[in-house]
Amino acid sequence: EAGVAQSPRYKIIEKRQSVAFWCNPISGHATLYWYQQILGQGPKLLIQFQNNGVVDDSQLPKDRFSAERLKGVDSTLKIQPAKLEDSAVYLCASSLGPASGNTIYFGEGSWLTVV
Q: Determine whether 107 is exposed, middle or buried from the number of CB atoms within 10 Å of its CB (0-12, 13-18, 19+).
A: buried
Residue 31 binds other proteins, judged by CB under 8 A? yes
For other proteins, the closer of residues 8 and 98 by Cβ is 98
Residue 111 binds other proteins, judged by CB under 8 A? yes
Closest CA to 44 of 102, 1, 85: 85
The single residue among 68, 104, 113, 115 that binds other proteins, judged by CB under 8 A, is 104
The single residue among 12, 55, 84, 115 that binds other proteins, judged by CB under 8 A, is 55
Residue 94 binds other proteins, judged by CB under 8 A? no
The backbone torsions φ and ψ at residue 85, rounded to the nearest 5 degrees and listed phi first, read -70, -5
Total residues at interface with other proteins (CB under 8 A): 27
Q: Where are the beta strands (DSSP E) in 2-52?
A: 5-7, 10-13, 19-24, 31-37, 44-50
CB contact at 8 A, 93 and 33: yes
Residue 8 binds other proteins, judged by CB under 8 A? no
For other proteins, the closer of residues 32 and 114 by Cβ is 32
The single residue among 40, 53, 70, 71 that binds other proteins, judged by CB under 8 A, is 40
CB contact at 8 A, 107 and 26: no
The single residue among 15, 16, 44, 83 that binds other proteins, judged by CB under 8 A, is 44
